[in-house]
Amino acid sequence: MTTATSSYTLDNGRPGAGGMLDCLSAVLDQSTVELIAPLVQLGAHCLELGAGNGSVARWLADAVGTGGRVVAVDLDPGLVRAEVRSRQQVQVLRRDLRTDPLPEGPFDLVHARLLLAHLGNRDALVPALAGLLAPGGALVVEEWGAAGPGVVLSSPWPETAELYRRYQTALVAMFGSAGNDPTWSVRVHAAMAAARLADVRTVVRARSWTGGTAGCRLPIEVSGQVREQLVGHGLDPADLDALREQLGDPRVVVMGNLTWSTIGHKTVGG
């Protein structure tokens, strides 16, 4: 389901974008590092796509050491932290992955998290990224699928689940109107197999998020950036305000989004 055009709704130039990216790092970095650590050696060359605040690029810079190379690419790399940019092995590039040429490989690891679903050329990018891999290298694509409609595990307010469901419905509609493919997390595996990557495997993980912590702050940060768009996609402003209030309360616990991580390898000699 590739659309010809797409736009990135949550652009890094909006006020509050940094807070949202920090929430993503807090929620996801540990599991990303568990996944990619076995794939990265000292001296490796890595490509981090849609680098956001650069937290994964920072981890990669430590892992590859000064003899390695980390290329961090973003449409707007302005929020990649200075401490990441200052590493001699890190190169930060401003690129639009819908239209600009890809950085020159080969890479031992190419990693993209919460990015390709937003890009209309996602299907074509998978074989292009596979083509950047060194023999034995790995492509890792991580995407979110919803945990389910408004799964609230605990709340003192009976309406939290319904409010959360309405928020998620408006969010999916907003992203969809910008060309985001909500089925992409499930389609990545077949796309990698079609790109002739070997040993493709998909891991799905999720955990609960407590009110006030990063996972529950995400909808607060996101809706702070795109309130008008969410309202334009059917969300009642009063519902949004009530949800934002409730997600800050530690008595509320929601089931976090499912993270679908798919890994494919370029065979040695392949």
Query: Which spans of this chain sit near ligand SAM (rule: CB under 6 A)?
Result: 8, 12, 21, 24-25, 28, 50, 52, 74-76, 95-98, 113-115, 118-119
Least Å distance between CB 44 and ligand SAM? 19
Residue entry with tokens 């890809």: 102
Q: Which residue number, 155 or 223, has a Cβ lying nearer to ligand SAM?
A: 223
Closer residue to ligand SAM in complex, CB, 159/213: 213
Output the smallest distance, CB 76 to ligand SAM, in A: 5
Shortest CB 162 distance to ligand SAM, Å: 26
Q: Residue written as tokens 């990441």? A: 84
**String of DSSP letters for 126-162:** HHHHHTTEEEEEEEEEEEEE-SSTT-EEE-SSTTHHH
∠ CA 225-56-149, nearest 5°, is: 50
Strand ordering across the sheet containing 198-205: 90-94, 69-74, 45-49, 107-113, 133-145, 258-265, 198-205
User: d(Cα 60, Cα 215) in Å, to the nearest integer?
Assistant: 23
Q: By C-beta, is 71 or 97 nearer to ligand SAM? A: 97
Q: Tokens representing 80?
A: 């990649």
Task: For the CB of residue 52, give the shortest distance to ligand SAM in the complex, in Å.
Answer: 3
Q: Which of 2, 134, 113, 1 is nearest to 49 (CA)?
A: 113
Nearer to ligand SAM, 45 or 113 (CB): 113
Cβ proximity to ligand SAM: between 12 and 210 the closer is: 12
Nearer to ligand SAM, 98 or 187 (CB): 98
Q: How far is the CB of 235 from ligand SAM (least distance, A)?
A: 20
Exposure of 84 in the CB half-sphere (CA atoms within 13 A)? 24
CB of 98 to ligand SAM, least distance (A): 5
